[in-house]
Amino acid sequence: MSEHLPDGVERHAFGGDGDGTDRLATRGEPVYGEPTDDEWRAWDPSRSKLGAMLELEMQTDLAGDDTVLYLGAASGTTVSHVADFAGPTYAVEFAARPARDLLEAAASRSQLFPLLADARKPDTYAHVVESDVDIIVQDVATRGQARVALENRRFLADDGRLLLAVKARSEDVTRDPSAVFDDVREELEAEYEVLETKSLERYHADHLGIVARPL
């Protein structure tokens, strides 16, 4: 089976991990204590929903030099890897504490632009984020995850992609995750065509990866 890895993401063997397995990696300054080998830094899918989507060979259509809007950047674990190979990368994070770590991750990445903002309120950063971004990556722990994707649809190019990690327990901890996933997908279909879905259970409990394109 062929892999769908973006330019700038490769498999690399890191010494000292004990099992000799090649791991996803990008070139850049380390951020969170990840294994490194010269300029390479390991991308751990158990700490990254997008990394899990790549490990599971979802067809993300991510490419080198893409313009990316990343919703739910937290302290920069995943978005720093994205900025290692992508073009302008706008990283939206609402909480002040992880945003401070995100600023540190951006210090060595001139194309990474941290935004202290709420992904549910895109009007607050619409004056900064360029229109027609190639990729929206969404990893937010909140109710209304489909609504966040719909509200941020305005930034996505007509041929762009939404890469969404749905957290069932953030929507409703009392419901069966599969029912939550069905509801999110149905709501998304108002403005997106869902191209692929895949459980991220191997790396993240009660998560579903979705690849979609705007209608």
Q: Which residues are annotated as a binding site for S-adenosyl-L-methionine?
A: 77-78, 93-94, 118-119, 139-142
Q: What's the first-to-final CA gap in the chain, in angstroms?
A: 29
Residues belonging to the binding site are 77-78, 93-94, 118-119, 139-142
Strand partners, 133: 156
Distances (CA, A) of 141 to 71, 145, 165, 168: 10, 8, 10, 9
Any residues with CB less than 8 A from the CB of 1 and at least 6 apart, and which?
Answer: 57
Q: What whole-number distance in Å separates Cα of residue 82 and Cα of residue 135?
A: 11
Distances (CA, A) of 85 to 9, 69, 158, 179: 7, 14, 22, 36
Q: What whole-number distance in Å separates Cα of residue 89 and Cα of residue 86?
A: 7
- Helix axis angle for 96-106 and 77-85, nearest 10°, is 30
